[in-house]
Structure 1
Amino acid sequence: MSVFRNRRFTWMTALAMLAVLPLPGRADAADLLSVVSDALDHDPALAASRDASRAAAQAIPKARAALLPHASGGWGRAYNGIVTEDFPTQHYWQSGWTVGLTQPVFNWSSWTAYRQADYIVARARLQTASAIQAAILSVSQAYFDTLAADDEVARATDYLRAVDVHLALIRRAKAAGEATLVDIQDGEASHAQAQLQLLDAQSQVRLARAALERLAGKTGDALAPLPPGTVPTLQPADGDAWVTQAQTRGYPVQIGEVELQVAKFDTEKARAARYPNVDLQVTHTPAGAGGGYARPTTTTTGMLSVTIPILSGGEISAKVDEARAMEDKARDELDAAVRDAGAGARDAWLRVTAGQRRVAALEQVAQRTQAALDATRIGFGAGSRTSLDVLRATDSLYASRRDLIRARYDSVLALLKLLSQTAMLDVDEVARINAQLFVSGTAQPASAVTRSDSTRQDVPDLNMPAVAQTGPIREKAVVPDIPRTIPTRALNAMDMAPAVSTSTSNYVPIVR
């Protein structure tokens, strides 16, 4: 256990050191981890989800209270006037107090509600964890959109400068009688196109930064640029492993599993309305509070009451049918969540793998179009190429650079979406990706990170027995603290213990 603790300490120390390391290019630039942390602190929707989770946590003490004794007491003062034929009229005041105790002995509906309360709390925790993950994904999208917009502005500026240089050259050639008016018009058309691209890029960067500022709650911070050549890869590369992970541990699937259990308990509570209820009632009224007695009288009453439902006019049957229908609805929604999770994970996996190949291909295209432009310029100087050939080669080069910019960021975002599909996207994972993309620059496959739930944010304390991991992907999904067997797909397969692991990590975002 001491080894585990030391490893956890090493990881926490490493994260703290990474947070203060200077980033390449901008010493004071905000990286992905800092922006995500600011957004999680700033997001009001996430704060509302946390508040809802705290409110849902009261379901357990509320349900437990229905099984515990209930005591009540009271005090009163009453005036009595007793008129009896042939007897003197009596007038007197009476005061005192009374105390009563009720202990439920058998109430199946209350007992079922108590068993259901664990799942209600688990559902709220899962919803909060899902909201955290959604917030991380949203701010990451805005962060990389802003970086892409900044890169697009730089690209459009370079494109306009290149066209300006060539247009100036053509104008000098026209003045010397070596170029035609058509060459000038072609150059001016390309110049107008380059200006339009720059205007669009400047507008897009303002929109992207406004979206990021809305999520992170800060304005004017410089962002750490994504170093060239950083393309994340997946381990394992098999898409079926990621699909299986998403179908068993994705937050929509987990929430659907818990929703189904809640619906089953609702059906059981509806049936419990047909069962008898047994209560033990004790009432004690000390001397001076005996109602209806002229003299102070102490009364103590103990009673075991049994209430048996006989006729409800069909209400109980209607409620049972309604609960069964809602249970079927929850089951169908769970099936839909499993299908959607598998499809979403497959789509994200395909985008990640295709993104790697696309980035590599676009890098080759950019290099070759640069070489083609250089050759065309030499040919233009030698008279074997026209001005239009140079403009076309310039446009081809900067178009390939534009595609490469978008492909690099799309590849990283596809990775984050895949992690969110498998319930693995949390602050720790963002720290790992942040370190590998922005700090190391040439990261190699890393070993597993030894962690406990104390290193995670907004994750409930879990105490269920651990289940051996059978899948090829490191599992990180949030699971409820439920001390009873859950006869459903995903929750039966969950690793519900907060214990650390010494196995090697099967997912590592490698930076090429």
Structure 2
Amino acid sequence: MIVRLLPVVLLGLSVFQVQAAPMQEKTGVSANDYSVDLLALYHESRLEDPRIISAYAKARSASEQQRAALGGLLPQVSANGGYNRILRKDDASREIYDNSNYGLSLTQYIYNKQAWESWQKSKSVSRQKVSEADEAQAEATVDLAKRYFVALAADDDLELVMAERRATQKNLDQVNALYARHMAKITDQLDLQARVDSLAAQEVESRNQVRLSRAALAELVGRPINERLSRVRSDVEFQAPMESLDNWLQLAESGNPALKASQSGVEAAEAAVREGKGGHYPSLTFSLSGQQSDVGYDNTQTPRSDSYVATLGVKVPLYSGGSTSARVRGLYDDQQVAEEQMEGVRRQVVKETTNAYLTAQSSVEKIRASRNALSSASQSSIAAQKAFTYGVVNAVDVLASVQNEFKARRDLLKAQYDFVISLFALNRWAGKLSEGSVASVNAWLSAGDINVIRPDAPNPKQVSR
């Protein structure tokens, strides 16, 4: 009976092992099983990028300083009080008594040009810091996009090098087989072997570039990036911006946050000049005070008395040693500096907007040309490999065709990434870069391996931003 049951038991154990194997495989999960896209990293960077955090902290600080400057124009109320325990004695008497005094005062500027202009300056500075925070956010977003696509290009380059190495190795194996039958030249064998060795060295460098590009991304989000990066989908064809360059320049000059910050800086400098000139102006103050006291001369005890005073005070500056005039002259120079800085920023905005617009236009044409080049290179590579099997061409010709094909693939991927970066830059300088812009570009991405469009692929959807 035991002998009859043994095969059944062994069969049951084998079935259990087969069913348990997949369960054991699922227990090990690594970061490489997941993917991360541009929008997810954008959300992380907004919370982790020190540039963004510090810029918005400066904006909040400037807002509080504006509120502090406004407080100088509002009524100033203060209260005071004192309680005394007094021992008083002389040759004839000795006495101990208590006395106290309490007061309340209110002061209000009726006219104070310096305080008013200080508040106006603080408002301009607050707007400047808000615009600078928006500019820091936009700059950090473009930086993130650049690093993302640099990392993506590094991944692409590694996979393309590995694919080219496999293709070249396959050709080398064929040549080795032919050489063994004395049907191939030794020079063909050596050329292919040299190319395989060169690609092995390139693979080492490509792996290092992948690590370096991931480290650059980790700097912005504050954590290691071990997930796969979502790639540009193969069913998307990019189109250049439909608006004219003049329209983009108008948007940039009216909406660029860096230019807005410079304009607010000029307004703050103008207010600072007026504040400095206020040192020559008189000030008018109104105050009310009330006091209750039973303290007399030399801390003697007197009956309690209440006093109420209303005061209208005028202060006229006559001479301060020339310091006020010198300060005003220096503030005029500061104003000129702010105006020249604004003009420099305006010229930079015009230049960068123009560069980004023209780069986007040319990148679209480059993408189309790269597609055609890839189509021709792929067909040439297939034809060369077939011709090699018939002895029409040698291995060097096959090697050159394979190199041209993979170069065309790299050029196409790079042209796509350059186009996306130019769009980010264009929207950044035009003041239109937002989370919606990132989400629009993120819609072009999907998790997966390199999938360069082949000549026989269906027509991709046309997309423009």
The TM-score range, normalised by the shorter chain, is 0.7 to 0.9
Deviation at 1:162, TM superposition (A): 0.8
Q: Distance in 1 between matches of 2:401 and 2:341?
A: 54
**Which amino acid in 2 is paired with 1:48?**
S
Match of residue 375, structure 1, among 366, 376, 383: 383
Residue pair 1:286, 1:299 contacting (<8 A) in 2 also: yes
Which deviates the most, 430-439 or 187-196? 430-439
Which deviates the most, 246-255 or 281-290? 281-290
Q: Distance in 2 between matches of 1:90 and 1:299?
A: 27
Q: Does 1:351 align with 2:356?
A: no
**Which amino acid in 2 is paired with 1:433?**
V
Tell me which residue corresponds to 2:44: 38
Tell me which residue corresponds to 2:345: 337
Q: Distance in 1 between matches of 2:341 and 2:411?
A: 39
Q: TM-score, normalised by structure 2?
A: 0.84
Tell me which residue corresponds to 1:180: 185
Q: Does 1:399 align with 2:407?
A: yes
Match of residue 124, structure 1, among 129, 146, 160: 129
Tell me which residue corresponds to 1:74: 80
Match of residue 148, structure 1, among 150, 153, 161: 153
Tell me which residue corresponds to 2:120: 115
Tell me which residue corresponds to 2:325: 317
Which deviates the most, 312-321 or 181-190? 181-190
Tell me which residue corresponds to 2:201: 196
Tell me which residue corresponds to 2:260: 254
Residue deviations 1:408-432, cap 9 Å, x none?
Answer: 1111111111111111111122112
Deviation at 1:289, TM superposition (A): 4.4
Q: Does 1:303 align with 2:311?
A: yes
Runs of at least 5 residues in structure 1 that lack an aligned partner in the other structure: 1-25, 446-507
What is the percent sequence identity of the aligned residues? 22
Q: Which has the larger radius of gyration?
A: 2
**Which amino acid in 2 is paired with 1:422?**
A
Q: Distance in 1 between matches of 2:192 and 2:240?
A: 45
Deviation at 1:437, TM superposition (A): 4.9
Deviation at 1:52, TM superposition (A): 1.8
Deviation at 1:35, TM superposition (A): 1.8
**Which amino acid in 2 is paired with 1:377?**
Q
Which deviates the most, 145-154 or 102-111? 145-154
Match of residue 167, structure 1, among 172, 188, 204: 172
Deviation at 1:351, TM superposition (A): 1.1
Higher share in helix = 2
Q: Distance in 2 between matches of 1:199 and 1:114?
A: 61
Deviation at 1:233, TM superposition (A): 2.6
Residue pair 1:251, 1:423 contacting (<8 A) in 2 also: yes
Residue pair 1:107, 1:278 contacting (<8 A) in 2 also: yes
Tell me which residue corresponds to 1:424: 432
Deviation at 1:308, TM superposition (A): 0.6
Match of residue 64, structure 1, among 49, 63, 70: 70
Higher share in strand = 2
Deviation at 1:112, TM superposition (A): 1.4
Residue pair 2:52, 2:136 contacting (<8 A) in 1 also: yes
Q: Distance in 1 between matches of 2:116 and 2:351?
A: 39
Deviation at 1:79, TM superposition (A): 6.5
SS of aligned partner of 1:287: strand
Q: How many matched pairs? A: 420
Q: Distance in 2 between matches of 1:444 and 1:230?
A: 6
Q: Does 1:53 align with 2:59?
A: yes
Residue deviations 1:473-504, cap 9 Å, x none?
Answer: xxxxxxxxxxxxxxxxxxxxxxxxxxxxxxxx
Which deviates the most, 404-413 or 113-122? 113-122
Residue pair 1:163, 1:191 contacting (<8 A) in 2 also: yes
Distance change in 2, residues 1:354/1:235 (3 Å): closer
Q: TM-score, normalised by structure 1?
A: 0.76
SS of aligned partner of 1:309: coil
Distance change in 2, residues 1:276/1:71 (3 Å): same
Distance change in 2, residues 1:59/1:321 (3 Å): same
Residue pair 1:256, 1:337 contacting (<8 A) in 2 also: yes
SS of aligned partner of 2:35: coil
**Which amino acid in 2 is paired with 1:186?**
D
Q: Does 1:105 align with 2:110?
A: yes
